[in-house]
C-alpha cells in the first residue's frame, strides 16, 4: 500500500509538471498573439494554422469566420499595436486532450467595453491546439468565441 501511495504521488506530481509546462506554452503563445507583432507570433504557427473567430451579440445573432495564417499575419501588420483584450491567467487555462505530441488549451477572459454608448461585458473564450515540431510546439488550430452581454 505504501508503494502504491508513493507511486500515485509521483504520478500526480509528474502530471502537474506536464500541465504547468504546457500551460506556459499556451500563455507564451497567447502573449505573442495579443501583441499583434508578426515577428513574435509567426514562429508559433504551423503551416496549416487556421483561426476561427465567432462573434455572439445578444438579440442580433452569431457571425463566424475562418482566417488563414497569411490573412491573420497581414491583419496584424496593419494593426500595428497590441490587442486591448486581457491575457489569460495561468489559473484560467485548462489543458485538454494532452498526448506526448499534441495538446489543446482553453481559457476565458472578461473585459468591459462600450459599443454605441452602451456598456457590455465582453467574454472571450479561447481554444488553441498545438502539435510538437521537433522540440517546439506549434499552433495548428485556434478558436476564439466572443460573447457580449449588456450591463
Query: Within 10 Å of residue 145's Cβ, how many Cβ atoms?
Result: 17
Instruction: Give the largest Cα separation in the chain, rounded.
Output: 65
Q: Is 44 exposed, middle or buried (0-12, 13-18, 19+ CB in 10 A)?
A: buried
Tell me the pLDDT band of 57, cut-offs 50, 70 and 90.
Answer: confident
Contacts for 141 with CB less than 8 Å, ≥ 6 apart: 49, 50, 51, 52, 127, 128, 129
Tell me the pLDDT band of 131, cut-offs 50, 70 and 90.
Answer: very high
**Mean pLDDT score of the chain:** 85
First to last CA, the chain: 55
Is pLDDT above 70 for 69?
Answer: yes
pLDDT tens digits, residue range 85-128? 899 989 999 999 888 899 999 999 999 988 778 899 999 999 99
Q: Across residues 24-36, what is the average pLDDT?
A: 95
Q: Closest Cα partner for 127 from 72, 52, 75, 68?
A: 52
pLDDT at position 85? 87
pLDDT at position 20? 58
Q: Across residues 66-81, what is the average pLDDT?
A: 92
Q: Domain extents for the chain?
A: 2-150
What is the pTM (predicted TM-score) of this model? 0.81
Domain 2-150 fold:
Nuclear Transport Factor 2; Chain: A, (3.10.450)
Tell me the pLDDT band of 3, cut-offs 50, 70 and 90.
Answer: very low
Query: Within 10 Å of residue 21's Cβ, how many Cβ atoms?
Result: 12
Amino acid at each position: 500500500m505504501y508503494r502504491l501511495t508513493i507511486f500515485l504521488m509521483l504520478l500526480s506530481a509528474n502530471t502537474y509538471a506536464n500541465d504547468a509546462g504546457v500551460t506556459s506554452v499556451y500563455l507564451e503563445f497567447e502573449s505573442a498573439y495579443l501583441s499583434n507583432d508578426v515577428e513574435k507570433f509567426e514562429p508559433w504557427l504551423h503551416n496549416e494554422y487556421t483561426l476561427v473567430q465567432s462573434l455572439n451579440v445578444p438579440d442580433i445573432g452569431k457571425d463566424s469566420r475562418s482566417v488563414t495564417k497569411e490573412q491573420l499575419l497581414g491583419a496584424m501588420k496593419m494593426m500595428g499595436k497590441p490587442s486591448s483584450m486581457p491575457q489569460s491567467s495561468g489559473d484560467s487555462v485548462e489543458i485538454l486532450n494532452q498526448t506526448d505530441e499534441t495538446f489543446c488549451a482553453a481559457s476565458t477572459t472578461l473585459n468591459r467595453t462600450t459599443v454605441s454608448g452602451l456598456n457590455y461585458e465582453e467574454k472571450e473564450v479561447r481554444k488553441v491546439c498545438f502539435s510538437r515540431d521537433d522540440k517546439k510546439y506549434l499552433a495548428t488550430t485556434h478558436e476564439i468565441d466572443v460573447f457580449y452581454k449588456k450591463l
